[in-house]
Structure 1
Amino acid sequence: MSARARATPLLFLHGNWHGAWCWTEVIAALAGSGRSAVAVDMAGHGLRARRPACLTGRPFDAEALATEVSPVADVDLDQAGDLLVSQIKRVGRGGPVTVIAHSMGGTVLTRAAEQAPEAVAHAVYLSGLMPASDVPALAYLRMPENAGALVQSCVRADPAAIGALRLDLVSGDAAYRRQLLDAFYGDVDRAVAEAAFGLLTPDAPIGIVRGTTTLTRRGWGSVPRTYVTCARDMAVRPALQNKFISDATVAFPDNPTAVAALDSSHSPFLSMPGQVADLIAELG
């Protein structure tokens, strides 16, 4: 671990459909260490989310679910990256920050680290999308290494038509709801998983997963990074996690990816927040 990252502030970024709220227990566990830690919302999510009318309209209109253009359809990777850079600089107050990104948040972290490598002391990907140069995150979700992932088949509507990856969070289909819970929260206490499910945002902007970043040796390639694998992940499968690690190391062999491991589902910040906090404190 570089001296540059030692005792730097910590900034946590969530993945698709989630919000800053998912890091609450991890940040609480870090409080005793005296580290400065904050979670932020990604563009189009959390307090920056906008919900389609079709999910709350009554009587329910299945056709509207499939056709209503998302209110976050204009959000793209450029906006998400710019927002994260501004959040990093605000938290760092002129100094570098250790950024921990989960799932699709990794795509945004990659863009931010390429734009402002001097602001990122350490990039930590928690089962995160860590795309190669000029490859969209969406392409990885369809790769053989991600076979068996449970999220894609839960997306309702054509993302290209509505501008978002839409989940039917008010569905009365018990099997559909169970699949989403298994995808995100397989080892999370049921009551906590249900509470988290109620906080999800239905639309994740398609522009974030379709965007690409050209990686350079002086940009993202210069930033120290660690990939934290989740062995029982049903959203970003272990084989895909390993592909991110190996591809990054091949592309930037003079800055290989360090690896840490958790025996968890996709959301260890809810199933084992103390272990996640201990791991992050050790890394950064």
Structure 2
Amino acid sequence: MADILLVHGSCHGAWCWRDVLGPLTDLGHHVRAIDLPSHGEDPTPLGDVTLDLYARAILDALTRPTLVVGHSMAGYPISRAADLDPSRIARLIYLCAYVPWPDHSLVDMRLRAPRQPILKALEKSADGLSFSIRPEHAREVFYHDCPDDAVQYALDRLCPQAILPQATKITLGANYASVPRSYIRCTEDGAVPPEFQATMAADFDPDTVVHMQTSHSPFLSDPAGLARTIDALATP
């Protein structure tokens, strides 16, 4: 049995993991999902959100060694959390997530990909502090293999995403390097190109890189399969 913390990606919240919590619990794990600052039910103003605030929220949710799963943009805050304090992080699992390169922000990483299919689905706010997901492109980019009711569930809950955390460059050090890592690559991903996911995971132990034939949102399209995949990575 493992302690597992699930961390959502851009514009989402803890709500996106609703269908994964039960299957992981049934597999014997103690599992939780959190809202990052300004997401879900967290009241933090968008203008106050930083990458380190995200990372501290993750660390604050940990009381003992925990397997931390980060989806998409959450690859950055889970990595930063491990660099700040690896003592309570047993393993990082990147779910079709961005893996930081030295002196790169998430925005920089996105631009290093061979293509940027996500851009058509994003709309920047007038004040420049955030972006939102255009509902007319949401299914195509994020949820193409998800049931209709799950897509509507997501559309009803998506929130604006603070830009500053994604524009913050980081270089990770020895603390981060000390934490075991795994990668779940989603081969039908319409947001983060699968070939770029393979590039980001190229220096991971090959035994810790697995594949799911899903969209960017396996927590809605194949939650039982995702639970089994996380369970396999959590079991030595």
Question: TM-score of the superposition, structure 1-length normalised?
Answer: 0.77
The answer for unaligned runs of 5 or more in structure 1 is 1-6, 51-70, 169-176, 250-254
Structure 1 contact 236–266 (Cα < 8 Å) conserved: yes
Partner of residue 42, structure 1: 36
> Which structure 1 residue ranges, 4+ long, deviate > 3 Å from structure 2?
none
- Are 2:134 and 1:140 equivalent residues in the alignment? no
Offset of 1:190 from its aligned partner?
1.4
- Partners of 1:276 and 1:184 lie apart in 2 by 16
- Are 2:51 and 1:82 equivalent residues in the alignment? no
Structure 2 contact 101–109 (Cα < 8 Å) conserved: no
Match of 1:120 among 69, 85, 89: 89
Match of 2:21 among 24, 27, 31: 27
The answer for unaligned runs of 5 or more in structure 2 is none
Residues 169-209 of structure 1 deviation map (CA, whole Å, 9 limit, x = unaligned): xxxxxxxx3321111101001121112111111x1011110
Residues 94-143 of structure 1 deviation map (CA, whole Å, 9 limit, x = unaligned): x2100011011111101001111121101000001111122100112223
- Partners of 1:96 and 1:46 lie apart in 2 by 25
Partner of residue 275, structure 1: 225
- Are 2:159 and 1:193 equivalent residues in the alignment? no
Alignment coverage as a number of residue pairs = 233
Question: TM-score of the superposition, structure 2-length normalised?
Answer: 0.92
What's the secondary structure of 1:129's corresponding residue?
coil
What's the secondary structure of 1:73's corresponding residue?
helix
- Are 2:195 and 1:239 equivalent residues in the alignment? yes
Offset of 1:164 from its aligned partner?
1.1
- Partners of 1:17 and 1:158 lie apart in 2 by 13
Amino acid at match of 1:20: A
- Tell me: CA distance 1:265–1:167, structure 2 relative to 1, closer, same or farther (3 Å): closer
Amino acid at match of 2:32: V
- Partners of 2:133 and 2:229 lie apart in 1 by 31
- Are 2:105 and 1:131 equivalent residues in the alignment? no
- Partners of 1:278 and 1:84 lie apart in 2 by 23
Looking at CA atoms only, which structure, 1 or 2, has the larger radius of gyration?
Answer: 1
Offset of 1:154 from its aligned partner?
2.8
Partner of residue 4, structure 2: 10
Q: How does 1:147-226 map to 2 (within 5 A)?
A: 147-149=115-117, 151-157=118-124, 161-168=127-134, 177-201=135-159, 203-216=160-173, 218-226=174-182
Amino acid at match of 1:137: L
Amino acid at match of 1:259: V
What's the secondary structure of 1:27's corresponding residue?
helix
Amino acid at match of 2:121: C
Structure 1 contact 82–112 (Cα < 8 Å) conserved: yes
